[in-house]
Amino acid sequence: MNVGFLLEMAAEGMPDRIAVGSLEGGITYAQLLDQARRTASYVRTASVGETPVGRLAMVDLNSDTLPVLLFGASFAGVPFVPMNYRLADDKLRELVARNAPALLVVDPPVAERIGDAHGLRVLTRSEFGDQLAELPAAQEPADDAAGDEDVEESIAVLLFTSGTTGAPKAAVLRNRHLASYILSTAEFGAAGEHEATLVSVPPYHIAGVSAILSAVYSGRRLVYLPAFKAGEWVRTARDERITHAMVVPTMLGRILDVLEADGTTLPALTNLSCGGGPMPVAVIERALRLLPHVDFVNAYGLTETSSTISLLTPEDHRAAISSDDPAVRARLRSVGRPLPGLELEIRDAAGEPVAVGEPGEVWVRGGQVAGEYLGAGGGDQSDGWFPTRDSGYLDAEGYLFLSGRLDDVIVRGGENISPGEIEEVLIAHPAVREVAVVGATDVRWGERVVAYVVPSSEVTEEQLQEHVRVRLRSTCTPEQVHFVDTLPYNETGKLLRRVLREKAQETANV
């Protein structure tokens, strides 16, 4: 199955329902299918010089064109490649060039930044729209029927991951991975006609891709914000009577600030899913208090796993918040349980499964797990098991607790120290608003523990060191605590530890 088939089903089953955009002026599933098929016929005949294009790439903000491109690429049988428009000009030029020969749809300012791009046919979003309008109405392909393993195996989406070193890697998501994910997580046509999902994550993020597929297959209207702004998000959620949304924790914090400031309650909102990074307990507790009518989901997933692999359900949230049992209450910090049909294990450094409660690396296997990078092979060396490089443990009931990236582990005097463990203790201090812990080279210990803290009230370095010392162990006590105004995050709320490590390095050498 290719992902385009999901749209064909939606257009067959719910042709006149609004698929994308506002209730007035949005396009229906039948229209979305027509536009996607036109896109496919355009892509099939497009060429750069004499060479037919092999990819449909995009460097643009979110817009109603995004689902058209995703499904259009699928029908044309070429990968869809949404890329990060926030990259510096030279990095962006390098990245887009890697897709040649390709058709590239861009935001007008991006066209100027890219300039004369070799091997690329560049169109602005509106130029692309004009081209589609000129094409004759798309016909249903005469015979795309008889079973084709090539379709299953073909690449649906390429997502460039932000490598900390070297050039970005292109994560490969084949049609079978994404289809498997949708079939195991979404139910066809199950959304009510009033349901609408607000998408504000960037289009080059896996959550931006899975949002489209889930919403279309479920029959839930997609509403886009060009990019996330808290005020805009709240206004759109209210005006469009949004019922569902996915946000990263930093977005949620800012949304709550707006709600608190202007007293908006968002009565239409029923489901809010959070993911893309650890959810501070203080933020989710505040969210549950300010939006008591909303079902909260905390999801964990990776680009390489076609999005969500584990989730904390609304029932889990309610049980945790109202429980006196510390073990149940602690689940507010967990990412819930693995999806049914997916295998998940915690393994030690040798690749052997560990006992319940023991920390190790998270490994997953299942139809949605790709774990493959372009030009690097991958995937099947371990019998389909994919090592996530995330560390964590499972509790007795199978709830998954994450403690950070394995690559972020601090090795101090031969002891492995998880920054997440220290951050968890520090964030619980009433004077700490945000915190990040990294390692810095140390002559005596190999690495030392350095904490960056955004304080919410007055507190001293000594007080925070003591706070950690009495709760963990002396080796975990930060040798240095730096007070800062903000921590560096990327636009999806991921903490940029690399930036802090470099900063810590500079101060460590003084």
Partner 1 sequence: MARRAVKYDNGGETQRITPLKDTQVRTRQVRTGSRWKSTVDTTEVMVIRGPSKDIDLRCGGHAMVASGTSFEAAEIDPAYADGTQVGKRYVDEELGLELLVSKAGSGTLSVADRSLHLKDAKPLPTSD
Q: Which chain residues interact with partner 1 by CB under 8 A?
A: 1, 5, 8-9, 12-13, 142-149, 151-152, 176, 183-190, 197, 207, 210-211, 213-215, 218, 220, 244, 246, 271, 273, 275, 295, 297, 299, 301, 307-308, 311, 313-314, 338-346, 353, 356, 394, 398
Cβ 399 to partner 1 shortest distance, Å? 11
User: Beta strand pairing status for 295-302 and 102-106?
Assistant: unpaired
Rank residues 160 and 399 by Cβ distance to partner 1 and give the closer one.
399
| Interatomic CA distance for residues 412 and 50, integer angstroms | 58
CA atoms within 13 A on the CB side of 283: 24
Rank residues 145 and 443 by Cβ distance to partner 1 and give the closer one.
145
Rank residues 184 and 480 by Cβ distance to partner 1 and give the closer one.
184
Cβ 342 to partner 1 shortest distance, Å? 7
Rank residues 385 and 445 by Cβ distance to partner 1 and give the closer one.
385
Cβ 82 to partner 1 shortest distance, Å? 15
Q: Which residue from 26, 49, 44, 35 is spatially nearest to 7, judged by alpha carbons? A: 35
Cβ 187 to partner 1 shortest distance, Å? 6
CA atoms within 13 A on the CB side of 141: 18
Rank residues 74 and 307 by Cβ distance to partner 1 and give the closer one.
307
User: Beta strand pairing status for 343-347 and 360-365?
Assistant: antiparallel
Q: Which residue from 132, 109, 115 is spatially nearest to 56, judged by alpha carbons? A: 132
Q: Which residues of 423-444 are buried (b: 16+ CB within 10 A; e: fewer)?
A: bbbbbebeebbbbbbbbbebee
The token pair at 409 is 């582990």
Residue with tokens 């693995």, as numbered in its chain: 338
Cβ 464 to partner 1 shortest distance, Å? 35
Rank residues 335 and 464 by Cβ distance to partner 1 and give the closer one.
335
| Interatomic CA distance for residues 94 and 87, integer angstroms | 10
Cβ 297 to partner 1 shortest distance, Å? 5
Query: ∠ CA(288), CA(488), CA(203), 5° rounding?
Result: 70
Cβ 15 to partner 1 shortest distance, Å? 13
Rank residues 5 and 496 by Cβ distance to partner 1 and give the closer one.
5
The token pair at 304 is 């390489």
